[in-house]
Structure 1
Amino acid sequence: MTNNIKYLTDVFLEDFKLNFKSNYLPLYKTNNITEILKTFSNPENILESSTVFEYVPLKQERVDGEFIKENIRILWNSLKHISISEAESEKMWVALANTYYLDYHLNQLSLISTQDKAKDRSIESRTIFTQGQKRSLTINNLSLLWWIAYYTIDVEHPSNPFHLTDFFVDSAFRGNALVWLSSNIISNKNISLGILEAIKELVEQDKMIVNRYSYSNANKILNQIGGVRLLDMLSREEVKGIISEHLLDTEKIRVPQMQ
């Protein structure tokens, strides 16, 4: 089904963020679908862009990450044509999460394991942008899927362009995405794919067990050489070689225990 992409008005986004805790957070905590849909169908709050997309519902999860691979593919195939500026837009992601993808958004919020104020903060940060833009994009329930796809899809692979995507989300993808993709080091796909290939190869060679330090330390390695060589000038193979050579020597990297 072809639909127009929605986005919030500037006035409503400001109100939504300013008054989220008092006026809107209770709607998500009580799963008040009727009131949320009423709020996000008000023409004073939300508009339609001229950009269209093929809407396909996302899979509902019973366990966090259960259908992540399918959902990444679904969302990417629906929205892969949007521009980078659109993909960075809080107004668009908040609108989509509370209209077409509201069931998925509420499903994801229901899986949050923390309680009380920590859960309230998680609901807020997954619904609106509460931190820097790049970091917020890796927390929001919808934009997270799109940006994981963007930085991990390998169009050069002969049979499965999602092979690195699948590897990435097989581990604790939310935490790893937060420490990895929110870094300014991840500025182009040569860097992200080179890092991923190196980590995947080290894991497959039984030299490392992936954890969040695999990704954060890879970023640090590139950050250290950034002053000597412009990172954007590095090829994918050069990035892979640098990470493969140095990552195992960094702190808190998990390695398999010798039998």
Structure 2
Amino acid sequence: MNNVRAKICTPQFLQTFKEKFDSEYYQMYKSRDRQAVEELFDSPAVFESNRISFNYSPLVVRGNESFGIRNAKNIYTTFPNLTLTQASTEEFWFTMLNTFYLDYIFESLEIRDTPEYLKNMMFMGTTRAFFSQHLSRAWWIGYRTYDEEHISNPWWLLDFLGKGDLHGKAFSLFASTFTNNKKIGLGIIEGIMLSQRHFRNVQYTYAFVNKYFNALGGVKILDILTREQVRDITVKLLDDVWKGQYPINNKDREHILKSVAR
């Protein structure tokens, strides 16, 4: 499907769907009743967007560890011109998932089929909202890791971040509001990449660095830092940890260091 118009629903349609999900709608998905879902979304409350057109490309459900990377690249390049407001709209991602990407839902349910899993897939929720709903999560990971300055491969930092548990690391890295400033997230990823000789590319490392910048934000306005400064601060922090010059408990050391011996 090329150059098709995206779809979005009204806030009331989404609210009603949430209220009736457990009692009425979950069974449609559990029984893989495509016709019932399509009829539900064939509603005046679901309409074409006159602002967003796209070329459809299917998502990867599972496979090797790169499936999350592939989906982030796919969704971000499919919708590269979304405004941040549009990309923050739950009604948009919810409707797109249940119409154009319905195959993804059904294929995902072959792996895990519970009401809570399906809710997390469809809805933004309240905690780290952008990174729970699956299409939204893919877009925001793509947006926040796409490096326009790296002409030869704008995805180089996503390729590094995505080794292993991409979604866990993304949750930890982007949990704080200061990473709404894209350059901060890019600087942290690059700093961890430069420190990978001694440090694991795992969720704990991103959570540790995130915690440090949260504390730093109390004494320094993070938004005035350049990306290079964020990178260098990250490298110095981890180097100090490696040398034993920054206090860290033994449990955290075991989680983030490749070797606890110096």
Q: What is the TM-score when the length of structure 1 is the normalising length?
A: 0.88
The one-letter code of the counterpart of 1:24 is Y
State whether residues 186 and 192 of structure 1, in contact with CA within 8 Å, keep that contact through their aligned partners in structure 2.
Answer: yes
**1:9 maps onto 2:10 in alignment:** yes
Structure 1 moving runs of 4+ over 6 Å = none
Alignment of 1:51-66 (within 5 A): 51-63=51-63, 65-66=65-66
Structure-1 separation of matches of 2:69 and 2:172 = 20
Out of 66-75 and 154-163, give the one that drifted further.
66-75
Q: Between Structure 1 and Structure 2, whose CA radius of gyration is higher?
A: 2
Alignment of 1:32-51 (within 5 A): 32-43=33-44, 45-51=45-51
1:185/1:193 CA distance change after superposition, 3 Å: same
Alignment of 1:76-115 (within 5 A): 76-112=76-112
Q: What is the TM-score when the length of structure 2 is the normalising length?
A: 0.87
Structure 1 regions of 5+ residues with no counterpart? none
User: Aligned residue pairs: how many?
Assistant: 249
Alignment of 1:1-259 (within 5 A): 1-43=2-44, 45-63=45-63, 65-112=65-112, 119-132=114-127, 135-203=128-196, 206-247=197-238, 248=241, 249=246, 250-251=248-249, 252=252, 253-257=255-259
1:94 Cα deviation from its structure 2 partner? 0.1
Q: What's the C-alpha RMSD, in Å, of the aligned pairs?
A: 2.0
Q: Tell me the secondary structure at the aligned position of residue 154 of structure 1.
A: coil
Structure 2 regions of 5+ residues with no counterpart? none
1:164/1:111 CA distance change after superposition, 3 Å: farther
1:64/1:125 CA distance change after superposition, 3 Å: farther
Question: Percent identity, aligned pairs only?
Answer: 29
State whether residues 53 and 78 of structure 1, in contact with CA within 8 Å, keep that contact through their aligned partners in structure 2.
Answer: no
Q: Tell me the secondary structure at the aligned position of residue 158 of structure 1.
A: coil
Q: Tell me the secondary structure at the aligned position of residue 53 of structure 1.
A: strand
Structure-1 separation of matches of 2:24 and 2:188 = 42
1:182/1:22 CA distance change after superposition, 3 Å: farther
Structure-2 separation of matches of 1:59 and 1:187 = 26
